[in-house]
Amino acid sequence: MSRPAAPGQAHTPRDLLAYGRHYGLDYRVPGLSPHADTPVIRGSVLEFPLHSGMQLVASDVEVLHRYDSCSRRPTPLSIIVLLEGAAEVRLEEHSLHLSAGMALSVQLDDEHSLEATQPAGQRLRALTLSLDRNRLASLIPTTEQASRLHAWRLPEPLRQGLQQALATPPQEAERHRLLLEGLSLQLLAHGLPVDNMPRTTTPTLLPREHQRLERVRLTMCNDPAREYRLEELASLAAMSPASLRRKFKAAFGHSVFDYLRDCRLTLAHDYLRRGYSVQQAAHFSGYRHASNFATAFRRRFGVTPSSLAGES
C-alpha cells in the first residue's frame, strides 16, 4: 500500500560519500559539491543481515535532488527491487528504465560498472539483495562471472509480501529476520542468473537503436496523456511496428503500451496527491473512463484512487 514516507533523516552529499565507501559506489549530485550540507534524500536506509553470504538493504526515501551512482566493485549477484519510484540504469550500451514493481538481476565483473540515475521529486522505496561469490556458487556451481543484467516483473504476491514485511515493525528480531530471509529466497528463485541474460559481450541493440528507442520513451514520458498509435511510434523510431515492440521491451523491460500505462498512472498519482479529484486525475492522465482508470490504478499501486485522493 502506498503511504507517505516517514520524515526520517536528511542525507547530504557528504553522507552519500560515506555510503559509497561502504557499498562500493561512487555518488554524484549534479550541481552540488561532494561536501555540501544540502539534503539530497530524506528517509531511512536499513541493513538486514541474513543467512551467511546474503545481505538485504532497504531504503525508503524522498529524493530531493537528482543523484547518480556508479558501482566500483565486482558484483557476483545483486537483485534490485523497486517497490515505488523509478530509476534509469546503464551497463555499457545497454540501458533500462525501471519502475515500481520491477526487479533487476545484476552481475558485474572487474571491467564493467553499473550506472544509475534517480530523478528528483519522487518517493523511492527499494531493496537490494546481494550475494557473495561463495553463496552464489553454492546455488549455481557453474555460474560464470560476467557482466550482465536482466529486468523482470516482480510477482504480485511477492511484491505484497515484501511491502508488508518492511512496513510491519518487527516484534521479535529473529522472527522478522526469518521472514525477510524467506522472502529473499523467493527473490533468488525468480532472479538467479539464466543463460539468456543479456551480456555486455553480446549486446542485443546497437547504440543508434537505443537512441531512437529513447526518443520514443521520452515522447511518451513527457506527454503520457496523448493518444498514441504503434505505427506513429514505430515511425519515430525508424523501425517497423514489430521491431519496435520487440526492441523496446529488450531495452526497457516493458512493452510499449505497458510503459505508457505506467507513465499515465504515475502522472495520475501525482495529480491525486496534489488534491485533484479522481475524475480530474483520470482525464488529465489520458483515461477516458474513470472505471478503467480505477482498476488500473488499484493494480498498480494496491489502493483505490479515491482513497489516495482522500488523503489530500
Write the pLDDT tens digit of every residue in 67-87: 999 988 888 899 999 999 888
Please provide the distance, in angstroms rounded to a whole number, between the alpha carbons at the two ends of the chain.
16
With CA atoms as reference, report the closest residue to 246 among 217, 289, 197, 205. 205
Q: Which domains does the chain have, with CATH numbers?
A: 9-191 (2.60.120.10), 207-309 (1.10.10.60)
The whole model's pTM is what?
0.63
* Beta-bridge partners for 96: 89
With CA atoms as reference, report the closest residue to 149 among 55, 227, 77. 77
pLDDT-derived band at 27 (thresholds 50, 70, 90) equals very high
- Across 87-96, 165-174, 208-217, least confident range: 165-174
* Beta-bridge partners for 79: 105, 129
Phi and psi dihedrals of 43, rounded to 5? 155, -150
Asked if 96 and 253 count as a contact pair (C-beta separation under 8 A), the reply is yes
DSSP state of 32: S
Identify the H or E element spanning 216: helix 207-222
H-state helical runs in 3-116:
13-23
pLDDT-derived band at 1 (thresholds 50, 70, 90) equals very low
Residue percentage of the chain with pLDDT more than 90: 29
Q: Which residue has the higher pLDDT, 63 or 254?
A: 63
Angle at 294 between CA 289 and CA 295, to 5 degrees: 105
* Beta-bridge partners for 47: 57
AA identity, residue 64:
L
With CA atoms as reference, report the closest residue to 49 among 124, 129, 111. 129
CA 7 and chain centroid, separation: 22
Sign of the alpha-carbon dihedral angle for 283, 100, 154, 209: positive
The pLDDT score that the predictor gives to residue 83 is 92
The overall average pLDDT reported for the chain is 84
Question: Grid coordinates standing for 151?
Answer: 529486468
| Residues contacting 207, CB < 8 A, separation 6+ | 93
| Residues contacting 148, CB < 8 A, separation 6+ | 91, 106, 107, 193, 197, 198, 199, 200
3-state secondary structure of 261: helix
Is the model's pLDDT at 90 over the cut of 80? yes
3-state secondary structure of 65: coil
Query: For residue 215, how many C-alpha atoms fall within 13 Å in the half-sphere facing its CB?
Result: 15
Q: Which residue has the cell 528463485?
A: 189
Is the model's pLDDT at 95 over the cut of 50? yes
